[in-house]
Chain A
Amino acid sequence: MTVRDSEMPAIRAERLVKIYGEGNTEVVAMQDASMHVNRGEVVALLGPSGSGKSTFLTAVGLINPPTSGQIFIGSTLVLDGERPHADLRSMRRQHIGFIFQKSNLIPFLSAVENVQIAMELNGQTSIAARRRALELMDYLGVAERADNLPSMLSGGQQQRVAVARALANKPSVILADEPTAALDSRRSRQVMELLATVAHEQGAGVIVVTHDHRALDVFDALYEMEDGRMRRKKSVIHSVIS
């Protein structure tokens, strides 16, 4: 399936603000951060440590609601400030796939079960979930390690299993938090290209938080955060050159 339609929004964040503490201890972690990602679009979020990238990612991941601002999944308003307009856990399960810096696999489940569980939680039968999990793992080149526990896989294999889990429920949004931090440059590029391919083929909007400037050419748009504020860079090519 190829979906590349800028008219179909995957996720939209409008003027997100996140404030921790109050009074003298108040810290503004994110201020007026907005982002619009269409289906099939791959977006990089850059910025130094402590700039608010993770705060933004956990907010749009419906894990850590913003103090104010709105988050839409597709065209549905999900969060208005801290007030949920839908069951957040259910929205995460059905619409969002997560990929982390560390693979974050469940240690007591085999590789295929780690992928399978995401689909079973979403109501799929065990047989159907296993079949799709194996297909995804085959697609990502880790099918031969399907029955191994995460501890028996290399870092790259674990990350590919995590990508398979993120894709399992055909989410409209994939959030990746420095997915290549633990990988060498060749593997990093492979994972970035994989995310781009998946976004384009499956029509998911992908937001990747990254420090890695070597593979920025795979992204459709770049955003940068600094001191909690977000700005969109004009173009990928321009950013890479500058």
Chain B
Amino acid sequence: MNLATKDIRRNLGRFALTCLGISMLLMVVMGMGGIYRGIVEDATLLIDRIGADLWIVQRDTRGPFAEVSRVPRNLVHRALAVPGVSSAREFLYHTIQRERNGKPLRIAVLGLSWPADKGEWLPLTAGRPLGQAHFEMIADTSLGLALDEQLTLGEDTYRVVGQTESMISSSGDGIGFFTVADARVIQFDQTGEAVRLERAAREARGRQFDVARAQPQLLENAVRPAAELPQIAGPQISAVMLHVLPGRDRGQVAEIVSAWGDVSVYTKDAQRELLLQGSVEKVRRQIGLFRILLVIIAAIIMALILYTMTLDKIHSIALLKLIGAPNKVILALIMQQALVLGTIGFGIAYLLGQRVFPLFPRRVILDGSDLLQLAGIVLLISLGSSLLGLWRAMRVSPNEALS
């Protein structure tokens, strides 16, 4: 006869409520683990998906995912000349926040190196890759933009031609994919008035120079577009991505590039590691610590619940001892209930989580190994927290059955 199940059946309603309470707690623990995993996954998603062998970034910076990085566009050509490089592409990445339908819309803008990169590597859930050099975009579904929908950013309007799912920046913003040229326009979007004021300021500065006084015609250049002026630097990009020829040593290529004084070079793994150790690290540690706290709280609450459940049965336990029940029977009664509580609590937490977590604003990823680890922890908590109840049960005297 299994006393644990008999007792549970007798107090089914109360036990079910207890299980539900425990499952809520475990769901939060599970969710924190999922959020932690989601942050890591989101942070490294682009690096992993893009799959570049090497990243060339501004000297002594940690790359566009961790901080601002600016390199000249012509770096692409320099990089292509390095022996062993099969392709070099521009990479532009920045975040913008605009208002749309009265609500803030944050977009992580990623420039694709048109025409070499049209976004074919993206896991499209609808639509197609970019088909022209301007005014098209691929949007992540988290941005809430429908296929064929048009979005005005600055002076230009972009049409959504493709959709992705779960392409999210490390800060949780949905990614919009544009050509590098469009991404740059979005980044440096200025109103006509701002352009006119800048040109006027440029002309005013020119007047301060003797050469302009001597040759007033030079000032005419000041009001021309910046792109037509050789003395003004062209717009920059965030990084250059390199693919190395098969069979060639990435280390050798990286060594050549790192000898250049204006840039730093990272492998894919190094870039990934830099990202995890940088912007994500504090969030990761915070969630990790919070998760540990939750596990401790869950253990304490379970221990108290099991202790209370044992106290409720203390007279029956004394009676069992009186009629000669060996300690293993009482031990099994308490431990089996602890395990049933933990197992059912974990199961409900998982099933509830499957329904609730997709509603969270950030991705919650329930990784198989994390779930196994949590299941192990719940098992240990169940066994550990039953010790308090066991201690009380072992101390009870058969005499108490007579009182």
Contact = CB atoms under 8 A, between A and B. Distances in A.
Nearest to A61: B322
Interface stretch (B243-251, B274-282, B394-402): B394-402
Given A63-B322, A63-B402, 8 more contacts: A64-B399, A90-B324, A94-B324, A113-B1, A117-B1, A121-B325, A122-B324, A177-B402
Interface stretch (B6-14, B191-199, B366-374): B6-14
B401 A104 contact: yes
A223 interface: no
Given A108-B7, A108-B10, A121 B399 contact: no
20 contacts: A58-B402, A63-B322, A63-B398, A89-B321, A89-B326, A90-B324, A92-B322, A94-B324, A98-B323, A100-B401, A100-B402, A108-B6, A108-B9, A108-B10, A109-B3, A109-B6, A118-B323, A121-B323, A121-B324, A165-B323
Nearest to A93: B324
Interface string A74-93: 00000000000000011111
B206 to A, nearest CB: 95
Contacts of B344: none
Interface residues of A, number: 29
Contact of B399 (A58, A108, A120, A126): A58
A120 B10 CA distance: 20
Contact of B10 (A89, A121, A149): A149
B311 to A, nearest CB: 14
Nearest to B329: A121
Contact of B316 (A106, A121, A126): A106
Interface of B: 1, 3, 6-7, 9-11, 313, 316, 319-326, 329, 397-399, 401-402
**Contact residues of A: prevailing secondary structure:** helix
A128 B324 CA distance: 19
Contacts of A67: none
A106 B320 contact: yes
A23 interface: no
A117 to B, nearest CB: 6
B323 A116 contact: no
Interface in A2-42: none
A106 B323 CA distance: 11
Given A89-B326, A116-B1, A121-B325, A104 B399 contact: no
Interface of A: 54, 58, 61, 63-64, 89-94, 98, 100, 104, 106-109, 113, 116-118, 120-122, 126, 149, 165, 177
Nearest to A113: B1
B326 to A, nearest CB: 7
Contacts of B6: 108-109, 113
Nearest to A94: B324
Contacts of A92: 322-324, 398
A90 B322 CA distance: 10
B10 to A, nearest CB: 4
A241 to B, nearest CB: 33
A117 B3 CA distance: 9
A63 B399 contact: yes
A89 B324 contact: yes
Contacts of B399: 58, 63-64
Best-buried of A109, A126, A177 by chain B (most CB within 10 Å): A109
A61 B323 CA distance: 10
Nearest to B398: A63
A104 B319 contact: yes
